[in-house]
Amino acid sequence: MLRCRRPMCKMRICFLSLSRLLLTSVSPYFLRMFSSSFREAQDGEVLLQDLASSTLQSVLDYLYTGELTLTAENAQDLFTAACRLQLLPLQETVGRFLVESVSPESCLGLHALARAHNHPALIRAASRCISQNFEPLSEHEDFLHLDPDMLIR
């Protein structure tokens, strides 16, 4: 049950036993949370901060139906949520989408995202695109934030 109508907020989600079973089967994060002495295991309510309600709704829809609408606009937020919540099937699905969508316009941002979440395939795809487009990308502001070790490979 979502209790927030604003785009970005603290959200409390109440989980039924079936929801707990589903979440613990696909997420080490929720498995530890619900099988421990954490408050969430006792009261069945989870507080998620800094997660857009639309992103969370997409995550829950995916978990319950297996359906997901991935776009350039929502993929990075879904990937970040999947990594944060350790939703491995969603992480793989969105990760593949991002690898396939690497372009000269997106490679610097995707490289940073991939490094932040340690996603080797996305790091390789973004690095390859950066190497192939080195000169025009070197004039971009985000280029200055690249790890220098990445540039000498």
Q: What is the pLDDT of residues 43-97, one digit of tens each?
A: 767 777 788 888 988 998 998 899 999 999 999 999 999 999 999 899 999 999 9
- Mean pLDDT, rounded, for 3-12: 46
Question: With pLDDT > 70 as the criterion, what percentage of the chain qualifies?
Answer: 78
Whole-model pTM?
Answer: 0.78
Q: What is the pLDDT of residue 1?
A: 39
47 bridge partner residues: 12
Q: What is the pLDDT of residue 151?
A: 57
Give the residue, 10 or 145, on which the prediction is more confident. 145
pLDDT over 90 at 38, yes or no? no
Delimit the CATH 3.30.710.10 region(s) of the chain.
1-91
- Report CA dihedral (17, 21, 24, 27) to the nearest 10 degrees: -110
Q: What is the pLDDT of residues 18-28, one digit of tens each?
A: 577 788 888 89
Q: What is the pLDDT of residue 5?
A: 45
Q: What is the pLDDT of residues 109-124, one digit of tens each?
A: 999 999 999 999 999 9
- Average pLDDT over the chain, rounded to an integer: 82
| Length, in residues, of the chain | 153
Give the residue, 68 or 12, on which the prediction is more confident. 68
9 bridge partner residues: 51
Q: HEC states along 82-142?
A: HHHCCCHHHHHHHHHHHHHCCCCCCHHHHHHHHHHCCCHHHHHHHHHHHHHCHHHHCCCHH
Q: Give the domain 1-91 fold.
A: Potassium Channel Kv1.1; Chain A (3.30.710)
Q: What is the pLDDT of residue 146?
A: 67
